[in-house]
Amino acid sequence: MPKMKTHKGARGRFHITGSGKLLRTKVGKSHFRRRKPKRTKRFYDEMISVASSDKTRVKRLLPYGVR
């Protein structure tokens, strides 16, 4: 059986924690960032967990778990 390939776009967008939780960055992080206040920009630095409805799709794109 050949090795499964990791989706390269998903590799940079998602992270898997040691406990197996899927994390993603928030949207709107870079576009028009200069005009936003610093307090608002700090909210974009936080990673949040992937919705439960999307977890199976993302795990299929990352078969070996990218950390």
How do residues 15-57 score in pLDDT, each as one tens digit? 999 898 999 998 888 888 888 899 988 888 889 999 999 999 9
- d(C-alpha 11, C-alpha 66), whole Å: 6
**Domain that includes residue 57, residue range:** 8-61
Confidence (pLDDT) at 66: 64
Domain count, the chain: 1
pTM as predicted: 0.76
66 part of a folded domain: no
Evaluated on CA atoms 3, 58, 31, 42, the torsion sign reads negative
Cβ-in-10-Å burial (0-12, 13-18, 19+) of 14 comes to buried
17 part of a folded domain: yes
20 part of a folded domain: yes
What is the CATH classification number for the domain harbouring 40? 4.10.410.60
